[in-house]
Amino acid sequence: MSLVVLGATGRTGQEVVAQALDRGLAVTALVRRREGLPVEHGRLRVVVGDARDPAVIEDLLPGAVGVVSSLGIPAAGRSRAEIDDSQRVDVCRVSTELLLAAMPRHGVPHLVAMSTHGAGGSNDGSPYVRWLRDLVGHRVEDKDRMEELLAAYGDGEVRWTVLRNPAIYDGPRRPHGVHERIELDRSSRITYADLAAFAIDEALTPEHSGRFLTLTEPLRGDGFAS
Ligand SMILES: NC(=O)c1ccc[n+]([C@@H]2O[C@H](COP(=O)([O-])OP(=O)(O)OC[C@H]3O[C@@H](n4cnc5c(N)ncnc54)[C@H](OP(=O)(O)O)[C@@H]3O)[C@@H](O)[C@H]2O)c1
C-alpha cells in the first residue's frame, strides 16, 4: 500500500516523499525528470511522466492508499515583470479530472490537492488576494478550474481535501492554524514541513474531506489586510 505523490520534484513534494518514507510508508512518486528527485529508497517507486497523461495516472494508482498532489504552476519570477503569462497552464485541472475518474477504479479513496489562497472561492477581492492574483497572473486560473471541478464533484466516491497555500518556506515545524475562512496578509506563511505533515495525515485519514483549507502561522500584519 503506497502513498502517491504528484509534483514530487517540487519543494513540497520532496518533503512529502521524505516524511512519508520516514513514517515507514511506501511511496509512488510522479516526476518529469528522475534527477529532480535525488532519492533512492527500497520503498520508493518513481514514475516518470506528465500528470496530464491518462496512462501515467493509471500507472500510479494500483495499490495506493491515498494521493497527495502538490503539482504547481510553473515557477514565478521574482517580480511581476519577470513572469511569462503567455503560456496557459492546465496541469492541476487536467490531472485532477483524470484522478477523479481513475481513483475509484483502483479503489483509492483519498485525494489531497494543493491550491493557492486566492484561488476559487478564496478569491475574495481582499488586498492580499488582489496582490497574489496579479503576481501569479493567468496561471492561477488553473487552480480556479481545479477547485471548480472538485466543488462540483462534491461528495463523490473520492474523498478530497484542498489546501489553499499561502507562501511556503523552509523551516522547522511551527504552531499554525487550519482555516476554512481567513483573510490573509503578506505575513501569512507555512513551512514545507508543516504542510507536508498535514497533507500526509489527511491523505491517509481524512478529517476535512470536502473542505478547502488554509494552513497559516499566526498573521503578524503588514499594513496590508483591510
Ligand atoms: N511555493 C509557494 O510559496 C506557494 C504558494 C501558494 C501556493 N503554492 C502551491 O502549493 C503547492 C506546492 O508548492 P511548491 O512550491 O512546493 O511547488 P513547486 O516546487 O513549484 O512544484 C511543482 C511541481 O509540479 C510539477 N509539475 C508541473 N507541471 C507538471 C506536469 N505537467 N506533469 C508532472 N509534474 C508537473 C513540477 O515538476 P518539475 O520539477 O518537472 O517542474 C514540480 O514537481 C503547489 O500546488 C503550488 O502551486 C505554492
Mean pLDDT for the stretch of residues 158-170: 98
Write down the CATH number for the domain with range 2-216.
3.40.50.720
Identify the residue with better confidence: 75 or 32. Answer: 32
Identify which of 83, 168, 214 to mutate to test ligand 1's pocket (most ligand atoms within 8 A of the CB). 168
Closest-CA residue, ligand 1 atom 15, reads 11
Closest-CA residue, ligand 1 atom 12, reads 70
3-state secondary structure 142-157: HHHHHHHHHHHHCCCC
74 Cα: distance to centroid of ligand 1 (angstroms): 7
Q: How many helices (H) and strands (E) does the chain have?
A: 6, 10
Cα separation, 146 vs 149, whole angstroms: 5
- Cell numbers linked to 225: 489586510
Provide the pLDDT for residue 217. 98
Say what the pTM is.
0.95
**Cα torsion angle, 130, 134, 136, 141, sign:** positive
Pocket of ligand 1 (CB under 6 A): 7, 9-13, 30, 32-33, 36, 50-52, 70-73, 75, 91, 114, 116, 165, 167-168
Q: What residue segments make up the domains of the chain, in order of their start? A: 2-216
**Least confident piece of the model among 10-19, 75-84, 96-105, 117-126:** 75-84
3-state secondary structure 95-131: HHHHHHHHCHHHCCCEEEEEEEECEHHHCCCCHHHHH
Rounded to 10 degrees, the C-alpha dihedral 185/187/201/155 comes to: 10
- DSSP state, 36? G
Q: pLDDT tier at 84 (50, 70, 90 boundaries)? A: low
